[in-house]
Amino acid sequence: MRTFWGLMKAYWFSERWKEAWTLTVVIALLTALSSKAGVWFALALGELGNSIAFFHDAANTSPLQAILTNAGILVLLVVLKDAGFTGVRGLVSATLHRKWRGWLNSQFNKALLDGNHTHFHAQHGSAAGGIVAPDNIDQRIQESIKDMTGGAIGLAMGVLGVATSLYFIGENLIGSSVEVKGLEFLGGYGSAVLAFLAVAIYVPLNTWIAVKLGRLLERLNIRMQQAEGSYRSELTTFLRRSFHVAASHGEDVQKSMHDKLYVDIDKTWGKLNVVNNGYTSFELIYNFLGARIVAYGPGLVSFIHNRLDYKGYITGSEMVAQLISQCSWFIHVMPAIATLRANSQRVTELANAIENVQHPQAFYSQTGQSDFHYASQNPVFGLTIQKLELAHQGEDATPFLSAANLRFRRGEWTFLKGESGCGKTSLIKAINGLWPYGRGTIVFPEGVKSFYAAQEVKLQQVSLKQLVCLPGSEHDHGDAQVASALHKAGLGDFIEHMANESREGKSWDQVLSGGQKQKLVVARIILQQPGLLFLDEATGALDPEGKIAFHQAIKDNCPDVTVISVMHEAVAPRSAAGTEFYHSIVLIADGVATKKPLTPTLPVELTTILTQPRPVEDKWLRFSRRLKQK
């Protein structure tokens, strides 16, 4: 689906090809019947015109009856054509539109949300490196696919209509053709040749004009989609950070951002309106000249020289008008073609971006050094990092963090410490394959489940149970297991609501406080029982007691887990009893990460005494007695 035609035909050659082709064949049959009904309509119109013209003819014994009969037949044909063939075809084509769009939507969602984290990598293009990340991915999937599929079906029906009309109308024109004075060498095909010649000259000339205007429309449509997408994206982001805007009184700044983005929409829209209205005027003039001048011209010569009666003249002229109308399909739908091409370009760009990042390291190697190696080893040896260097974009970028050799044993808790911006989170991202540039080897313990816990998970319209079950499905765990995890994490009050997607009309992202969201992280960890746990500032919104409870819940419920944690605290938290949660520390200083055991602390007895609310003298006496007893 990386090219226009590849995108157009993918559905028809997919696993749902029977559905696609069945609907297509039905549409084709209804289109052919509609075209044939157009011929019947032209013949009936000729009969009606003839009955009107000879209303006062002495040979016409029942003029009123003839008019009423022909008018009735004409009405029935209109109903059959428009409400029957065309109406049913519209319903079938709408069904095809819905099915095709649904299939494409599922394919792009499947591709973006794969295990390769494609949705993440696809947004990391570099203009400097010649790889531009697709803007407004949401709009491309939602609006562009919808408009593209609808436009393509409409255009395909138009092409089929042209083909069937050429056959049926052309057959009738040839069958009713007469000799034309001055063109006797053409025999009885004179009037048909003139009709085809008029269509062949008039339609292509105006189609060329339509193409020129269509290219301008296409460029403006692409620009309009980009502008609309950027504005909508900013509105969505603003609503998500609404509290922060209110707290900082940033409404004026936010308003100026909106105004600036809307200026682009307004300017592009103004240009688009000018071109669209100019095209509409061109099309109206074209339609009038084609239906009333060009269509009635070819048969006029034969009618003047009395080689064609009035009925034949009217019928033939209406046939030519029908033929011009059908062959002008390209002109009538040029704005739709411009929109289709704009939408398809947006979708194929996204398809190309998805394809480009299927091998992330090869993708990132185009704009910098990306040479990470991931392997596995016996879980006894834990997690090992060798010769790791992290850098930013650019072939000559200097590494900002290096780690010669780091090893994390099974069950070991390690605290990452360093100044803000030194690369603590980048190190965790690199271990998990989410840092683009650098090199090194990361060896995971084989068969051990890994879990990356950030401060919160921002997912809308999902139940509390689904949030707790992440990254798995809510069907992977029973209600009792989830309820137990929520209770142990300190969220027992929400157990009765865990099947709901919202509470009091608000999503869980809005219901839960910062601290509760981080307790939700604990519930997820307890439920998933990982063997390797990465905590990326997962306790940032908790008070000291909450941080202790957070760690204690993991310690009590995941006894053999290996923990690597990033926190802003200068000292790693301890339990309420004064014991250390963490066994080692990775210190990042001057761009180098080194690992060592935590500095020996006070004896457990002294730590316990110091945490008890008793007089200092009494604590020291008790401590001395314990030492003597030992």
Amino acid letter, 448:
V
Distance CA 487, CA 482 (A): 9
Report the alpha-carbon distance of residue 453 to residue 467 in Å, rounded. 13
pLDDT: which is higher, 322 or 597 = 597
Question: Strand 383-390 to strand 401-408: parallel, antiparallel, or no bridges (unpaired)?
Answer: antiparallel
The yes-or-no verdict on residue 626 having pLDDT over 90 is: no
pLDDT 10s digits, 261-271: 889 999 998 98
Average pLDDT over residues 122-148: 73
pLDDT digits (tens, 9 = 90+) for 194-217: 888 888 888 888 888 888 888 888
Report the alpha-carbon distance of residue 615 to residue 335 in Å, rounded. 86
Name residues whose C-beta falls within 8 Å of residue 441's C-beta, 6 or more positions apart in sequence: 372, 373, 374, 375, 384, 385, 386, 387, 388
What's the rounded Cα separation, in Å, for the pair 258 and 234?
A: 8
Report the C-alpha gap between 601 and 616 in whole angstroms.
19
d(CA 493, CA 519): 12
3-state secondary structure of 208: helix
Average pLDDT over residues 156-180: 79
> How far does the chain reach from its first CA to its final CA, in angstroms?
77
Instruction: Render pLDDT for 488-501 as a digit per residue (tens, 0 to 9).
Output: 988 898 999 888 88
Q: Is 505 exposed, middle or buried (0-12, 13-18, 19+ CB in 10 A)?
A: exposed
407-440 per-position pLDDT tens digit: 999 999 999 998 888 999 999 999 998 899 999 9
The pLDDT score that the predictor gives to residue 365 is 86
The answer to whether the Cα torsion of 463, 467, 473, 479 is positive or negative is negative
116 residue type, one letter? N
Is residue 11 within 8 Å of residue 24, measured between CB atoms? no
Question: What are φ and ψ of residue 342, in 5° steps?
Answer: -65, -45
Q: Which range is least confidently modeled, 124-138, 544-558, 560-574?
A: 124-138
Q: 29, 369 in Cβ contact below 8 A? A: no
Per-residue pLDDT tens over the stretch 284-302: 898 888 888 888 888 888 8
Q: Where residue 615 falls among pLDDT bands split at 50, 70, 90?
A: very low
Phi and psi based region of residue 178 (left: phi greater than 0; alpha: psi -120 to 50; beta: remaining): beta
CA distance 217 to 378: 61
Domain ranges of the chain: 4-361, 370-603
User: What is the CATH number that goes with domain 370-603?
Assistant: 3.40.50.300
pLDDT level of residue 87 (50, 70, 90 thresholds): confident
d(CA 533, CA 563): 5
Q: Are strands 562-566 and 532-536 parallel, antiparallel or unpaired?
A: parallel
User: What one-character-per-residue DSSP string does 413-447 give?
Assistant: EEEEEE-TTSSHHHHHHHHTT---SEEEEEEEETT
What letter would DSSP give residue 289? I
CB 189 within 8 A of CB 174: yes
Domain boundaries 4-361, CATH class: mainly alpha
| Tokens encoding 551 | 């760690």
Give yes or no for a contact between 482 and 462, defined as CB atoms under 8 angstroms apart: no
pLDDT of 594 reads 93
Most confident segment among 72-76, 116-120, 233-237, 502-506: 72-76
SS3 state of residue 377: strand
For 195, 285, 308, 325, the CA distances from 199, given in Å and listed in that order, are: 6, 16, 20, 10
Q: Among the listed ranges 79-93, 236-250, 384-398, which one has the minimum average pLDDT value?
A: 236-250
Answer for the pair 258, 231: CB distance below 8 angstroms, yes or no: yes
Q: Which residues contact 85 (CB under 8 A, 6 or more apart)?
A: 30, 33, 34, 37
The reported pTM is 0.63
Mutual angle of helices 190-240 and 145-175, in 10-degree steps: 170
| pLDDT score, position 502 | 79
Q: Are 63 and 52 in contact (CB under 8 A)?
A: no
